[in-house]
Amino acid sequence: MASSPDIQHEDGVTVVVFGQDFDSIGEDRIDAVADVLTQAAAQQTAGVVIDLSHTSFFGSSFIEQLFRLWNRMKKEGQGRFAICGLQPYCREVLEVTNLHQLWILTDTRAEAIHEIKNAEDDD
């Protein structure tokens, strides 16, 4: 049985951790990923961090799920959205698609949580 991403809470922020089983996120895992992202969006926290430290590849369907999560959070005033731990290829994909201009991208989870907490103070 395939594992699911892990939802954690750190310093008032929801963190979705894509573990070692998520080196590649393709079409075959999108339904499970969508379910977890929906659960993450429902949390009453300052925001959501997506930790992709173990992910070296994701497809366009995964980007679509991230965009849907971000859009829902934005429309419903559910806090900020950040991604941390991006491997070079994954970061490049988000930069080429200009999503780095919409989303907070950081190297570490601690930086992402800090950015969300500071952005919350600015609102």
pLDDT digits (tens, 9 = 90+) for 85-118: 999 999 999 999 999 999 999 999 999 999 999 9
With a cut of 50, list the residues of the chain below it in pLDDT.
1
Residue 122's pLDDT is what? 56
CATH code, 14: 3.30.750.24
Residue 44's pLDDT is what? 85
- The DSSP string of 36-53 is HHHHHHTS-SSEEEEE-T
Residue 94's pLDDT is what? 97
**Position 37 in a domain:** yes
> Which residues of 60-103 form beta strands (DSSP E)?
80-84
Q: Are strands 47-51 and 80-84 parallel, antiparallel or unpaired?
A: parallel
Residue 78's pLDDT is what? 84
For 107, the domain range is 6-122
**Position 118 in a domain:** yes
**Position 97 in a domain:** yes
Q: Are 115 and 104 in contact (CB under 8 A)?
A: yes
CA pair distance 49, 8, nearest whole angstrom: 10
Residue 2's pLDDT is what? 58
**Position 1 in a domain:** no
**Position 64 in a domain:** yes
For the chain, the domain total comes to 1
Q: What share of the chain is helix, strand, coil (3-state, %, to 5)?
A: 50, 20, 30
